Amino acid sequence: MPRIVNPPHTTASTRCTTLASQTNLAENPPVTKTERARHLLTRLNQLYPETPVPLDHTDAFTLLIAVLLSAQCTDVRVNQVTPALFSKARTPHAMAKLPVAEIQQIIRPCGLSPAKSAAISKLSQILIDQHNGQVPADFDALEALPGVGHKTASVVMAQAFGIPAFPVDTHIHRLATRWKLTSGKNVVQTERDLKKLFPRDSWNKLHLQIIFYGREHCSARGCDGKKCFLCRELFPPKTPHP
């Protein structure tokens, strides 16, 4: 598997500007959740036709480790740290032999290094003992690994194995709430709601498209639900009657 690079945000920005100049939904904006979902899917496919995985990896194991490290850490920082780690160990067998203290020292910049290093060492040994040294393409087996929750398992299933999944992190949860696609109670409910609204064959690509758009155009501080391109299309300002 080739080294994955980050998405071309400047290209997406240009597409966003072009689309904004060509369309006007103020007269007939999408009203229902289904209409909003259909419109978002069309727009996000236009803005992000390609969705490279932001975390650098070469196979299912290195992706698993990178996603684990990304908890409460930026993808950029993870990509700065993993080359040193993977130069020493990029397979479960090699990682299990690496002292936990050495793993911890390498991944310290990612934060939570004591817990993450212990989890990486333990899950590597479990993969050897229970899965022939391979990352299992199974939700239950992945979520049984130390340090691996449902979101991490979903990312691995989607991006390493191509199995439809909809990983929902706080960013996707925030945008889904902002776009009124979910009640916004918690990420579990948001995942259920999004899976009902969007076609199954769109999930793996769509969760990355939402993340890319949120980072570039609709951040928590940069948009109040009225400023960015998609928010303005979904919820155009009401024009007062003369």
Q: What is the pLDDT of residue 14?
A: 67
* Enclosing domain of residue 46: 9-53+166-234
Where among 106, 128, 161 does a domain terminate?
Answer: 161
Q: Tell me the C-alpha distance between 79 and 107, whole Å.
A: 11
Please check whether residues 71 and 122 belong to one and the same domain: yes
Active site residue 226: no
**Structural domain count of the chain:** 2
From the number of C-beta atoms within 10 Å of its C-beta (0-12, 13-18, 19+), residue 171 rates as: middle
Q: Which of 129, 151, 180, 224 is catalytic?
A: 151
Taking every pair of Cα atoms in the chain, the longest distance, rounded to a whole number of angstroms, is: 75
Please check whether residues 148 and 89 belong to one and the same domain: yes
Q: Which of 56, 75, 169, 193 is catalytic?
A: 169
Where among 124, 143, 161 does a domain terminate?
Answer: 161
Which amino acid, residue 110? C
Q: What is the pLDDT of residue 193?
A: 96
CATH of the domain at 75: 1.10.340.30
Tokens of 230: 């998609």
Residue 2 lies in a domain: no
SS3 of residue 36 by DSSP: helix
- pTM of structure: 0.85
The helix (H) or strand (E) run that includes residue 87 is: helix 75-88
Q: What is the pLDDT of residue 5?
A: 43
Q: What is the pLDDT of residue 31?
A: 82
From the number of C-beta atoms within 10 Å of its C-beta (0-12, 13-18, 19+), residue 110 rates as: buried
Q: What is the pLDDT of residue 120?
A: 98
From the number of C-beta atoms within 10 Å of its C-beta (0-12, 13-18, 19+), residue 164 rates as: middle
Active site residue 196: no
Residue 4 lies in a domain: no
Q: Tell me the C-alpha distance between 102 and 96, whole Å.
A: 11
Tokens of 229: 């391109």
Q: What is the pLDDT of residue 12?
A: 65
Residue 6 CB neighbours (<10 A): 14
Q: Tell me the C-alpha distance between 52 and 64, whole Å.
A: 16
Residue 12 CB neighbours (<10 A): 21
Q: What is the pLDDT of residue 171?
A: 86
User: pLDDT 10s digit of each residue in the chain, 242 long?
Assistant: 334 344 444 466 666 566 655 565 555 677 899 999 999 999 999 999 999 999 999 999 999 999 999 999 999 999 999 999 999 999 999 999 999 999 999 999 999 999 999 999 999 999 999 999 999 999 999 999 999 999 999 999 999 999 999 999 888 999 999 999 998 789 999 999 999 999 999 999 999 999 999 989 998 787 877 888 899 999 887 654 44
CATH of the domain at 211: 1.10.1670.10
Q: What is the DSSP letter of 72?
A: T
Cβ pair 75, 43 in contact under 8 A = no
- 221-227 long-range CB contacts below 8 Å, 24 or more apart? 223/178, 225/178
Q: Tell me the C-alpha distance between 228 and 109, whole Å.
A: 33
